[in-house]
Amino acid sequence: MANPKKKTSTGRPNFEPRYGEKKSSYQDRKRFNGAAAAGGEAGGSARSGAPARSGAPARSGGSKAGWAKPASAKGGAAKAGSRSAGHRGYRSEEEGAAPKARWTSNQRAGRDEARGIRDHASRPAGAGAGARSFDDRPRRDDRPARSFDDRPRRDDRPARSFDERPARRDDRPARSFDERPARRDDRPARSFDERPARRDDRPARSFDERHARRDERPARSFDERPARRDDRPARRDERPARPFADRPARPFNDRPARSAGDRPARHDDRPARRDDRPSRSWDDKARTAGTHRDAVDVVHERLQAQAIQAEETTEIGWTDLGLGQNIAGVLVDLGAPTPFPIQAATIPEVLAGRDILARGRTGSGKTIAFGAPLVERVLRSQGGGRREYGRRPRALILAPTRELALQIDGTVQPIARSVGLFTTQIYGGVPQGRQIGALRKGVDIVIGTPGRIEDLIDQRKLDLSDVRVVVIDEADHMSELGFLEPLQRILRHTPGGSQKLLFSATLDREVAAVVDEFLENPAVYEVAGETQETGTIDHRVLVIDHREKGEILRRLVDRDGKTLVFARTRAYAEMLADDLADAGIPAVALHGDLNQAKRTRNLERLTSGRVRVLVATDVAARGIHVDDIDLVVQADAPDEYKTYLHRSGRTGRAGAVGRVVTLIPRQRRRRMTEMLERAEIDAPFEEARVGDDVIDELAGTLPTDAELTR
């Protein structure tokens, strides 16, 4: 059952063999570039985001120039020591001054972990791995190889999550619970980056124009879905909650829905709210989103209705949604004075214990949408009791990449800490020692990636039997072939009655297998207008001669703003980065062949502005947030529209202008056109040769918002 879904069934009709593409030529180089990376995701970058939103006026002028940093961006002013040179966190204006101080604790964590690896590795003894046949892999050195429990670097480690952690961290105010609340200010910057942004652009795009083309997308997500049952219940508002009982068997698959019976009773408060819930259940939705015309209208209608509701809820406060004072306070401090639509819609449901699926692009407040209520629920679940040493985690947040996990922790941690709960990151590429140590002491919320989590479960270091809430971020991606099974195995370690929350900017039927096995009568939420595409992004396609790709790329990227280049393979990404560097354009790569230390470091280099060009694989397509990226270049066109949406969503954030240029060979025009249609994006195609003006034009500074929007 599990894997029967071939790619085809998962909705990836786009996947086709790529013939002409340049490929193997770089294969060789690839191996050599490996090396480490240090990762630190930019977790926070304070997304200047939502101008409308609170005080995140950070991005005022829209000057993409610098402000990327979390700390600074945020209420910049408040940041102690970030005002002038010599102070921690000070950031010299545009020169790529040492960014180090500006790192968030998360970033430091990644960096430190990475350093630890490097340091250890460099020592002769570090050879634990010993005879690895990959002699050609230079990166061996940064390999952990030895156990890090004894790791010396303890000190610089952010210590994030655990209480007992000695206060060492200079920069971090003691994290004892008592003063917990106080912390807020020092870590505001991170997290809300993604949230503020959206506000403005959202409303901006009128539904009509936007949803006009909406037809194919939704439709295709659920097309195979068996006949829709009755008529879908009226829109959210009047929707009569469907009682559990009459819940039809899950439509899409014969997978026997778990009957309420075999599922441990849910938390008490759950059932109660069920009925007044306006949202539609997954089943309803599934049924609704058919393939045809009527389905189109349905979708459109539904989205619109929700959008309206969203607007109405913007005046509601955090506490009105059911969150406690402490949490509400942190959110406000984080730059989110009031809830965004998706948050207003989902938080009450999450607090009620309901399983939900939510679609909200990065920047729409997705992280807080699940993070805040998750913390609140964990808090309630302990009923005022104490946190015991060695307690098992009560919440789990899964993400597809380490960088994203780090970023999520950057948002959730302060929220959790405000109520005395602790989080810990559990992902690969870094020593297990600290992670195990944290688990041993006891953490409340685990945030990580599948591999290491499963590894620790197998080692009996991680016990998920007490988990009450599980969040699967980028759920559709996590439900794809390579991720699905590990994900399912992990979920099977959680109690059957635990609450499941699935989020993604491109949530579609791909999550069906997970939904069917683990969710119970889930509610589905979407916020109209929230797709990765935004009116502030200028999409362009350059039809080029493959032989000129390298030169064209060099010219496109040789500019002042930050540019993120996507390549299909690690080898090509590495090659391109080297190529650009050789051409005198500082560039670094980000892909899975790099060790975590290098990944973190290279990403940080872009975030800090020390380098303006980052060439990445799709590891950076989802979730990664770096402020000021005003140009995304797709050296290789993506195969899926969802990938296009995620990649392009790295720019044009916070209502800022952004541009996405995709290079394709002539023979790919048709596929590209089809993909853009599915992505609901209008992008003019232009033929271009090396000397053409278009290239310089596209590389140039973007027109002002006004010009762009015409």
Partner DNA sequence: AAAAAAG
Q: What does the binding site for DNA look like in residue numbers (CB under 7 A)? A: 7, 12, 15, 23, 128-129, 132, 143-145, 400-402, 427-430, 432, 448-455, 458, 480-483, 486, 568-571, 591-593, 617-619, 639
Q: Which is nearer to DNA, 8 or 84 (CB)?
A: 8
CA gap 675, 661 in Å, rounded: 14
Six-digit token string for 498: 């635990």
- Closest CB 452 distance from DNA, rounded Å: 3
Q: Which is nearer to DNA, 102 or 139 (CB)?
A: 139
- Closest CB 18 distance from DNA, rounded Å: 8
Closest CA to 537 of 466, 634, 403, 640: 634
- Closest CB 458 distance from DNA, rounded Å: 6
CA gap 539, 631 in Å, rounded: 10
Q: Which is nearer to DNA, 15 or 389 (CB)?
A: 15
- Closest CB 430 distance from DNA, rounded Å: 7
Q: Which residue has the tokens 């304070």?
A: 46
341-351 vs 293-313: helix axis angle to the nearest 10?
90
Closest CA to 233 of 185, 154, 301, 169: 301
Write the DSSP assignment of 647-706 as a string of letters: HHTTSSGGG--EEEEEEEEGGGHHHHHHHHHHHT----EEE--TT-HHHHHHHSPPPPHH
- Closest CB 64 distance from DNA, rounded Å: 26
Write the DSSP assignment of 300-313 as a string of letters: HHHHHHHHHHHHHH
CA gap 246, 560 in Å, rounded: 60
Six-digit token string for 608: 């800090």
CA gap 471, 289 in Å, rounded: 24
Q: Which is nearer to DNA, 148 or 525 (CB)?
A: 148
Q: Which is nearer to DNA, 38 or 527 (CB)?
A: 38
Q: Which is nearer to DNA, 138 or 592 (CB)?
A: 592
Q: Which is nearer to DNA, 288 or 479 (CB)?
A: 479
Neighbours of 244 (CB within 10 A): 14
Q: Which is nearer to DNA, 594 or 695 (CB)?
A: 594
- Closest CB 37 distance from DNA, rounded Å: 10
CA gap 708, 471 in Å, rounded: 37
Closest CA to 317 of 395, 239, 372: 372
Closest CA to 628 of 173, 49, 59, 68: 68
- Closest CB 667 distance from DNA, rounded Å: 17
CA gap 679, 239 in Å, rounded: 30
Q: Which is nearer to DNA, 113 or 526 (CB)?
A: 113
- Closest CB 153 distance from DNA, rounded Å: 17
- Closest CB 24 distance from DNA, rounded Å: 8
Q: Which is nearer to DNA, 146 or 175 (CB)?
A: 146
Closest CA to 252 of 218, 280, 279, 287: 287
- Closest CB 587 distance from DNA, rounded Å: 16
> 186 to each of 167, 350, 438, how far by Cα in Å?
15, 28, 23
